[in-house]
Amino acid sequence: MKYLIACLGNIGAEYVNTRHNIGFDVADKLIHELKGETSIEKLSIVSKVKFKGRTLVIIKPTTYMNLSGKAISYWLEKEKIPLERMVVVLDDIALPTGTLRMKAKGGDAGHNGLTDIIQKLGTNAFTRLRIGIGNDFPRGRQADYVLGEWSTSEEKIMVPRVEIAIEMIKSFVSVGVNLTMTTYNNK
């Protein structure tokens, strides 16, 4: 069985260690933990790793955040992965810093990456793991905030939360979205 783990972020050195790239941070840590190798392939940086007899196709789209749907659509089709075996990992300003929420479907909540994915797939019925980055920014400064680097205090919160996000992904591929939500959401 194959699963697509689509971790959102922006490519380029200027985006490393920024709030918007938490999806890429999760991908990097998961790939490292499962001893995967990465390659640059069509529309994504890709790693194929094994976990409990399953193949995880972990992608970091190279299309930039707001065009993530193109890469996700391509890799779902290329690897013949059904939508119910995909999870999208992304940042969310509507959640307090470090909050983790898995949802089986939903709207875009104003997230341009999710908007593009929903448009390209023609559905919002896919699992997403939302990672709260908080919203401590002045009115009109959202872009600066999400593209800004973590503060030292935020990093202390986020490092262990990335580990839990990885546990949630492993749970999703092992027992499914419903049991994972029951186990981890609101914890």
Residue entry with tokens 């419903």: 178
What's the CA angle centered on 113, arms 100 and 3, to 5 degrees?
A: 65
**Whole-number pLDDT of residue 43:** 97
Q: Tell me which CATH code domain 2-184 carries.
A: 3.40.50.1470
Q: What is the pLDDT of residues 84-128, one digit of tens each?
A: 999 999 999 999 999 999 999 988 887 889 999 999 999 999 999
Q: Which of 19, 20, 60, 130 is catalytic?
A: 20
Extents of the domains making up the chain: 2-184
**Whole-number pLDDT of residue 22:** 97
Task: Please name the helix (run of DSSP H) or strand (run of DSSP E) that holds residue 51, with its range, or none.
Answer: strand 44-51
- The identity of residue 97, as a single letter, is T
C-alpha 24/C-alpha 33 separation (Å) is: 14
pLDDT band at 172 (very low <50, low <70, confident <90, very high): very high
Active site residue 20: yes
